Structure 1
Amino acid sequence: MKFDAMVLGGGIVGTSVALQLQRRGLNVALIDRKAPGNETSLGNAGLIQREGVYPYAFPRDFASLAHYAGNRGTDVRYHPTAMPKLTSFLVKYWHNSRPDRHAQIARAYSTLIEHCVSEHRELVEAAGAQALLRKNGWIKAFRTVKAFDGAVAEASRWKEEYGVEFDVLEDNALRQAEPSLNPVLHAGVRYSASESVRDPAALVGAYARLFERLGGKVLIGDASTLEHGWRVPTEVGVAEAETAVIAMGPWSGDVTTRLGYSLPLEVKRGYHMHYATKNGATLNQPVLDAEVGYMITPMARGIRLTTGVELGFRDSPKTPVQLEAVEPVAREVFPLGERVDSEPWLGRRPCTPDMMPVIGPAPRHKNLWFAFGHAHHGLTLGPITGRLIAESILGVHPTVDLTPFRADRF
């Protein structure tokens, strides 16, 4: 039970870190309370977002703020009881969303995003998981000309600044791409360089099996019990390692706080439900109904409907108000059949107020590393994060400069 490194957290980020370390010759344990891929990584929309160079910003115009303050939006809801705790975080988030600051953040963030597709493809090939990957992009669809024109202008700017490829789909082109969509969605932007996954949890599982084939150990244990000296009790004994990596997503703060760090980590909650289809309807790629704020994605289990953002305490009970609000709208857009799941799934996206993950060494502990806070882009950035942590631990100059993502920036 002695290892060169232990990785705490079996989501896409932690599994990628463990795999990248094991591939480079270290003896690694991956520790979590569940099998890999069964928490936050289970419930996303399955996107690998090459276009995601600008992380999701806080709205700053008065009309949007007034709209969300009423707490009736389909894309963002909040728990009033959580607002006193979240206020400081949201103020910082709002500040960092100022256009000049957001552009500065994008310049750093894009250095991660540019590697997301290539790093996934390498691991997918090694894991034999090609059947899970879809390479036809995803569509942001619109109901009004004004919103569509704004999205085209935004995509054009992203292409000029960062080389993000896109296609414009108007009327017939959108119908050809997705024949089963209601024409109420009259145009769209397809981000053709992005990819998607048919089953995110299965992809994490495939990476974990590759990790085990290479000699890594997947252990069941409560990673939050990490002790200095890097020891964690597991079902088969106490695991010990010279190096530890905290990659526990929204639970990372439980450990870092106990170790004396005060990092501004909060969560954006979100829900999903799977549906059968009716009348032989098909969905070829993920589609975002951008002006309402939900996404439908073809998954192995059915059509997955994912909601926007719910702001609240991490561990509060489910309140799937958004799902109930958007489901009737989604049924008008696409022929959804009966619900497949017995209840809505709730996930928690770990977020920082500057919209960037925490990747790098712990400032005050030797041989302790952080890899969390990826917000909406955990699946997107898991493999490149794993590579960067592995390179840094082994003393190799990292592929991406980690300075903007270090914990001591706060």
Structure 2
Amino acid sequence: MPEPVIVLGAGMVGVSVALHLRRRGCDVVLLDRQGPGEGASFGNGGLIQREAVQPHAFPRTVSELWRIAGNRGTDVHYHPLALPGFASPLLRYWWHSEPTRYLHAVQAYSQLIQTCIDEHFAVARGTEAMPLLRPIGWLRLYADGGALEAALAEAALLHRDHGVNFAALDGAQLAAAEPHLLQSRAGAIHWTDPLSVSDPHALTLSYARQFTEAGGTLAIGDATTLRPAGSGWRVQGADGPVEAARIVVALGAGSERVTRPLGYAPPVFGKRGYHVHYGLRGNAVLNRPVIDAGAGFALMPMRAGVRLTTGAEFARDEAPATPVQLDRAEPEARKMLPLAERVEDKPWLGVRPCTADMLPIIGRMPGHPGIWCAFGHGHQGLTLGPTTGRLLAEMMTDEPTFLDPTPYRPDRF
């Protein structure tokens, strides 16, 4: 029989790992300090991004770096006093973004992304999760015809090399697809493969429900209390200690707090992000998620309203929320759509777990055979949760893996 497992972290990745392990007969406890999907999985663009075969590279042009240094954009914001703490991972991030090295990252990253739709459907099919996965894709809008033409040429290469599907919309076709846009555009790229999730938290809860219905156990506890216990490990839960022979660390940006005391400190850093929801005036609707090229924010139709999401913020751990990007983005968003009032009084804040080489960390942790890693998915934890869950579960139960896990091995750092 497979040995008992504690999965630390109940976001989309941790829930997916726990579910796949349970389906393979493992006795699994899924432990977090809060309920499933209440961390970074709660707030994001709500997209299963089949088109995202190219991870976010570090900017390398002087003009772009100078623009970001001004700290006035909607896409990137930083706390100046926090930058020294980011210096080492960001320098390595810049190094890995060199064009030749970046191509290797794309090759490994795309191998994961290409599976994301099938792996989500394999979990969601026949459950209440399926209606949450809307096959409507998303739109990237372009004000300039030349920029649209260049973007379409790049999209054609992604289709050729990675099987990514898209449709080109001119200005009239865009207006027909989204009749309540307030500004005309030269056109748009409609990425047709991605799934738009109407409620990311509900999706994670649905997968967690499958886990408990299959006999898995949910527990509230503090992952930082992890300690050796005999031949296994112990962590303190709200109802007492929990022990298991094996541990999976799936705590996103907080994973290093557990791994560092055990001697493993990969270059993981957090990019904070915010969202807030709005109503729409009159009978206006937004049919698909939209991102205006160069705007640095996204507008996503959700159950709770139209979600305005921001880019990246670099700040110290536990620093107070500074949603200046939302304040900068809102006036521009109101020029695009007839937004009504905010639904929430307080914006949501979460942290995306990023790695210096843009690839997630999946596999056995160096120096501790009983500890496994599943974190560092950057902007794509929601997208890659089921893929990572299946891959790691196959590794942990000695099954043949459906993907080569070598590029994501923890000992590369």
TM-score class, shorter: over 0.9
Distance 1:132 1:309 in 2: 26
1:40 counterpart letter in structure 2: A
Contact 2:6–2:31, Cα closer than 8 Å, also in 1: yes
Contact 1:20–1:390, Cα closer than 8 Å, also in 2: yes
Q: Match for residue 105 of structure 2?
A: 105
Distance 2:202 2:313 in 1: 26
Q: Match for residue 20 of structure 2?
A: 20
Unmatched runs of 5 consecutive residues or more in structure 2: none
TM-superposed deviation, 1:110: 0.8
Trace 1:102-181 onto structure 2 (pairs within 5 A). 102-181=102-181
Residues 96-115 of structure 1 show CA distances to partners (whole Å, capped at 9, x for unaligned) of 11222111111111110011
1:291 counterpart letter in structure 2: G
Using the size of structure 2 for normalisation, the TM-score is 0.97
Distance 1:55 1:26 in 2: 33
Q: Match for residue 216 of structure 1?
A: 216
TM-superposed deviation, 1:367: 1.9
Distance 1:79 1:143 in 2: 31
Check if 1:281 corresponds to 2:284: yes
TM-superposed deviation, 1:145: 2.1
Trace 1:182-221 onto structure 2 (pairs within 5 A). 182-221=182-221
Contact 1:120–1:383, Cα closer than 8 Å, also in 2: yes
Check if 1:341 corresponds to 2:340: no
Contact 2:148–2:186, Cα closer than 8 Å, also in 1: no
TM-superposed deviation, 1:148: 1.7
Trace 1:8-407 onto structure 2 (pairs within 5 A). 8-228=8-228, 229-407=232-410
Contact 1:143–1:291, Cα closer than 8 Å, also in 2: no
Distance 1:185 1:330 in 2: 14
Contact 1:269–1:314, Cα closer than 8 Å, also in 2: no
Distance 1:199 1:314 in 2: 27
TM-superposed deviation, 1:221: 0.8
Contact 1:3–1:29, Cα closer than 8 Å, also in 2: no
How much is the aligned-residue C-alpha RMSD, in angstroms?
1.3
Contact 1:3–1:239, Cα closer than 8 Å, also in 2: no
Contact 2:175–2:184, Cα closer than 8 Å, also in 1: no
Distance 2:272 2:308 in 1: 15
Contact 2:281–2:340, Cα closer than 8 Å, also in 1: yes
Residues 64-100 of structure 1 show CA distances to partners (whole Å, capped at 9, x for unaligned) of 1111111111211111111111112111111211222
Q: Tell me which stretches of 4 or more aligned residues in structure 1 moved more than 2 Å.
A: 182-186
Which secondary structure does the structure 2 equivalent of 1:42 belong to?
Answer: coil
Distance 1:408 1:31 in 2: 25
Using the size of structure 1 for normalisation, the TM-score is 0.97
Residues 12-54 of structure 1 show CA distances to partners (whole Å, capped at 9, x for unaligned) of 0000000011111111110001110011100001010101111
Distance 1:322 1:396 in 2: 45
Contact 1:3–1:28, Cα closer than 8 Å, also in 2: no
Which secondary structure does the structure 1 equivalent of 2:88 belong to?
Answer: helix
TM-superposed deviation, 1:235: 1.9
Identical counterparts, % of pairs: 48
Distance 2:307 2:233 in 1: 39
Distance 2:383 2:373 in 1: 17
Distance 1:273 1:184 in 2: 25
Which secondary structure does the structure 1 equivalent of 2:159 belong to?
Answer: helix
The size of the alignment, in residue pairs, is 409
TM-superposed deviation, 1:3: 7.0
Residues 162-210 of structure 1 show CA distances to partners (whole Å, capped at 9, x for unaligned) of 1111111111111122111123433111111111100101000000001
TM-superposed deviation, 1:126: 4.7
TM-superposed deviation, 1:375: 0.5
